[in-house]
Amino acid sequence: MKPYGLVIAASVCALFAACSNVNSLDPSALIQSGQLATQAATLSDADVRALTDKSCAQLDSENTIAPANSKYQKRLAKIAAQLGDNINGTPVNYKVYVTKDVNAWAMANGCVRVYSGLMDMMNDNEVRGVVGHEMGHVALGHTRKAMQVAYATSAVRSVASSAGGIAGALSGSQLGEFSEKLINAQFSQTQETAADDYSFDLQKKKNLDPSGLVTAFNKLAQMDGGKSSMLSSHPASPARAQHIQQRIASNQ
């Protein structure tokens, strides 16, 4: 019978396509990676906080953050005041990255980042709809699942020791890779639709106009695909716009 850790490692390799040939790897290394994969599937709240805190801090250090008196941050501050200052009780920290890239994301620790490229192509209602969608991924637990996938993939590749805690097990380069996986996570059709509905419901609850979601998706549909998860989502943007339009029409 194969050692338990070896079975887990082989399964993770198959799931994430991270190992080209399981049999060619050192069994002891596979056992250790299996242990880390199991650990990734049972991340504690403290682990999630530590990983997202580190990831967000690293990404902040690698990007230009719009100052508080900039037009971008002032716009986002206005939108933040409309959406609220917490996600399921977790305080939200809103910032703008000054870049031509079109993207926005949120992490489980309340870290919400909007790219100025997205703000340049969208009005405030559209940005609010997109940010509400990203917050929905956090509120509904999607980002936590994406974190488990990102960490498990890194664990399989690195076979790192977790003696210093999960966050401590990642080197600087691994943290960078992990962070990129988080902000470019691919969500399922069900998850994307649920996050869209979360944004719609949140705005209706606060007596805000949710139609910005429709026009935001229409604008995204006109763009070419790219690295951003926002530009390669499933279902496609036109279908998502139609879904929200139908909800608006039925007032539900």
Residues classed as catalytic:
134
Q: Which of these, 216, 242, 228, 229, lies nearest to 121 by C-alpha position?
A: 216
Residue 107 contacts residue 55 (beta carbons within 8 Å): yes
> Between 237-250 and 212-221, two packed helices, what is the crossing angle to 10 degrees?
160
Sheet holding 93-97, edge to edge: 93-97, 111-115, 104-106
End-to-end CA separation in angstroms for the chain = 55
Q: Is 180 exposed, middle or buried (0-12, 13-18, 19+ CB in 10 A)?
A: middle
